[in-house]
Structure 1
Amino acid sequence: MAAYIVATVNITDPVRFGAYGKAIAGLSERHGGEYIVRGAITEVLEGDVAPSERVVVSRYPSAEAARGYARSAEYLAAAALRVGAGTVEMRLLVDPD
């Protein structure tokens, strides 16, 4: 079953957040992931969402692969680089089919 990580990102310090981005470059792919979409919100259709928020959706072959990415030592070390530079909220969705 395919699994998806959906992350919402709010960047407060682009320079420092950039170090995080460089540190995770290629990491998702090494865990079997592929990016579906990543970018700024074009339009808020409903709800209280910061217009500057960014969204990243990546697909993995399984929930285990997605968790492997999010729990890997490399990801956790990279996440430490973004402390104070922005926030990331990650959700795991599993396609039941």
Structure 2
Amino acid sequence: MTVFLIAEVKVTDDAWIPDYAAKVHDIAAKHNGRYLSRSGNIETLEGEKTDETLIALIQFPSREDALGFANDPEYAPYGKARQEGSVSHFRLIDDSDIAGAIEYLPKPA
């Protein structure tokens, strides 16, 4: 089942960004990940505005692929640098429809 890693990041020290931006997409690709967006153009349409400075959306063919990326030893130093230079949330969602009403989305397991 397709999953999406949503990374919400508030940068507090941007020293980590050049290396991260140059290398991490290749590590994600090694785990069959594909960036759908990595953007600082964040517009709040509803609810309270939050203070993230960028949001990335990465598609993986499976949860195992996403976890392989997140736990890859090659990614570890980049992840550590990001954690030290930001406040980050990584969220993983699948492509299911919890209500089961959208016919082209799978029902949750």
For the 8 Å contact 2:5–2:92, the answer to whether it is kept is yes
Identity %: 25
2:6 maps to 1:2? no
Count of matched residue positions in the alignment of Structure 1 and Structure 2: 96
Q: Which runs of 4+ in 1 moved over 2 A?
A: 15-23, 81-84
SS in 1 for 2:84: coil
1 or 2, which has the higher strand percentage? Answer: 1
User: Which structure is richer in relative contact order (CA contacts within 8 A, separation 6 or more)?
Assistant: 1
SS in 2 for 1:18: helix
Mark the structure with the bigger radius of gyration.
Answer: 2
- C-alpha offsets along residues 50-73 of structure 1, whole Å, 9 cap, x if unaligned? 1x5211001001111011101111
User: Where in structure 2 are there 5+ consecutive unaligned residues?
Assistant: 97-105
Q: Within 1, Cα distance between the matches of 2:76 and 2:57?
A: 19
SS in 1 for 2:32: coil
Residue 90 of structure 1 corresponds to 90
Code of the residue aligned with 1:17 in structure 2: it is I
- C-alpha offsets along residues 2-27 of structure 1, whole Å, 9 cap, x if unaligned? 01100001112222333333342411
Q: TM-score, normalised by structure 2?
A: 0.76
Q: What is the RMSD of the two structures over their aligned residues, measured on CA atoms?
A: 1.8
Residue 47 of structure 1 corresponds to 48
Q: TM-score, normalised by structure 1?
A: 0.84
